[in-house]
Amino acid sequence: MKKVELINISKSYDKKNDVISNINVTIEPGEFFVLVGPSGCGKSTMLRMIAGLEDITGGTLKIGESDATMLPPSKRDISMVFQNYALYPHLTVEENIVFGLHVKKINKVERKKRCEDVAKMLGLSDYLKRKPRELSGGQRQRVALARAIVNQAPICLMDEPLSNLDAKLRAHMRSEIRQIQRRLGITMIYVTHDQVEAMTMGDRIMILHDGKIQQIGKPIDIYNNPANPFVATFIGSPPMNIAKAKVDKGTSEIILSETGRIKVPVEESHLLKNNEVIVGIRPEHLKTPSKDKKDEVKTHVEVINVEVLGTETIFSFKLGENEWLAKWNGQWSIQVGDVIPVVINYESICLFDSQTEQTIKTPSDIENHVFDKEVLI
């Protein structure tokens, strides 16, 4: 296992404008690290710089304890899986898997043993004599994965390897790749634009936007404590509701609309420094009114769309100038045009500075958040 360290890494194609700038991160040995962000944010470029397929304009790349900034790809001791499978159509599955071992001059007996081991691990033993055209998309992806694993490199890079698969197969392959990574103990750096993949696969994730780091951390920590509105809306499905709101310092209230107001506790009124604030709340944190709480503040909203998904109901409504989403467990008989009450608790909201967009408050009341494993025993 080896760590990968990026120190002040930057990339420019015209020597004037950086497409990636000031990247500082240490990826620990044996870690599953995910680079996630929208198309064009620089995540694939960063992966290619780690692989040696793109020059590094500025900064230092370390693999293990060695400076790898100027090393050719063949000297970096890494393997890579691309978005397109890049299999040789005229070779069998077995020949595709061991192709890299020929280049490394691994002897025939060792090549065969490694191939059989990795084929068994990935369920490819019955397909070794087939050509790629005779395989399904998921099987071809396994062959590409096998070719990377068979090299026994301590670091594996993956560039959106599941984006060509259908939803059901993608979910299965997510689990499969994660299990293989744990079993082999390799350091894996995985690029995706799919926040669901990032949340479910990564030990830690790095969120990129316009070539800059927005936040690094464990998926659940980023979900609960987003660094800014971009992260808040990028991570989570449905995304966090975001709205600019007025601040009434006299009453210590945040005003979302004529009927939507959030009372800020006196001890936290110091957070409201400006006349505006950005409010965020997860759809699942918009509550139904409780029969037990008579003094609960309700906001009445008109439903404009409803999706009943079996285990949960998602509906949208207008609040001021913004369209918000709410997600309630179970099957609710809600119709478009209904006016229903929702509860927006101060404890459940995020607050972001209206000027810097930095977080000034994160939720303190997070439903189903287990802090202590002992409660499960």
Q: CATH number of the domain at 229-366, please?
A: 2.40.50.140
Tell me which amino acid residue 288 is. T
Cα–Cα dist 231/234, whole Å: 5
From 312, 161, 341, select the one nearest 238 (Cα to Cα). Answer: 312
Residue 229: the pLDDT is 95
Task: Check whether the bond before 238 is cis (ω within 30° of 0).
Answer: yes
Residue 372: the pLDDT is 53
Residue 304: the pLDDT is 95
Edge-to-edge order in the sheet of strand 66-67: 18-27, 4-12, 58-63, 66-67
Which residues neighbour 121 within 8 Å (Cβ) at sequence distance 6 or greater? 146, 149, 180, 183
330: left (phi over 0), alpha (psi -120 to 50) or beta: left
Cα–Cα dist 192/201, whole Å: 11
Cα–Cα dist 375/377, whole Å: 6
- For the chain, give every domain's residue range: 4-224, 229-366
Topology alike, domains 4-224 and 229-366 = no
Cα–Cα dist 140/132, whole Å: 6
From 158, 187, 184, select the one nearest 173 (Cα to Cα). Answer: 158
Sign of the torsion formed by the C-alpha atoms of 57, 58, 64 and 68: positive
Residue 376: the pLDDT is 47
Residue 366: the pLDDT is 67
Could you report the per-residue pLDDT of 203-245, keeping only the tens digit for each? 999 999 999 999 999 999 999 999 999 999 999 889 999 999 9
Cα–Cα dist 127/134, whole Å: 9
User: Which of the residues in the chain have pLDDT under 50?
Assistant: 376
Looking at the DSSP bridge assignments, the partners of residue 350 are: 280
How many residues are there in the chain?
A: 377
| Topology, domain 4-224 | Rossmann fold (3.40.50)
pTM score of the predicted model: 0.88
Cα–Cα dist 64/44, whole Å: 21
Cα–Cα dist 140/315, whole Å: 39
